[in-house]
Amino acid sequence: MNKEYIIPSKEDPIFRAYCSDFGFIEHDFYKRWEVKTDEHWVVGSTFAINLTDAIVRLHEFIKSYKSEYRNSKTKYEIIMFCGELDKYGYTKETKVYSITQFNAKKYRLI
């Protein structure tokens, strides 16, 4: 097993965070992940290795995110990846958490 990369699986999924303003939040990632098959080799950034940490880190990001593009409709998501790829080599991911800028203010997260 390569210590440089995390190998996501159903037992040990990884979590990625997404912002509708610019895409995946990768400037503050935990560690790189990789999936190798006979046909594909895919790597990416890990935001967290458990859902609790992912939510906490996302809320911290929302508090610190200052952008001229941010508005009440800005949406943030946490996506779980269990290491499965489709036949084209794209990751099969599941959205497990989402919140808008409006709701973050409403629930006093920021």
Q: 13-67 pLDDT, tens per residue?
A: 999 999 999 999 986 667 889 999 999 999 998 999 999 999 999 999 998 888 7
Q: Is residue 35 part of a domain?
A: yes
In 3D space, the residue among 75, 90, 9, 81 whose CA is nearest the CA of residue 47 turns out to be 81
Higher pLDDT: 3 or 12? It is: 12
Q: Is residue 91 part of a domain?
A: yes
- Residue 4 pLDDT: 81
Q: Is residue 33 part of a domain?
A: yes
pTM reported for the whole predicted model:
0.87
Q: Is residue 25 part of a domain?
A: yes
Higher pLDDT: 95 or 29? It is: 95
Higher pLDDT: 74 or 28? It is: 74
Q: Is residue 20 part of a domain?
A: yes
Q: Is residue 55 part of a domain?
A: yes
Q: Is residue 81 part of a domain?
A: yes
Q: Is residue 4 part of a domain?
A: no
- Residue 28 pLDDT: 65
Domain count, the chain: 1
Average pLDDT score, the chain: 90
Q: Which domain holds residue 69?
A: 14-106
Does position 96 have pLDDT exceeding 70, yes or no? Answer: yes
90-109 average pLDDT score: 94
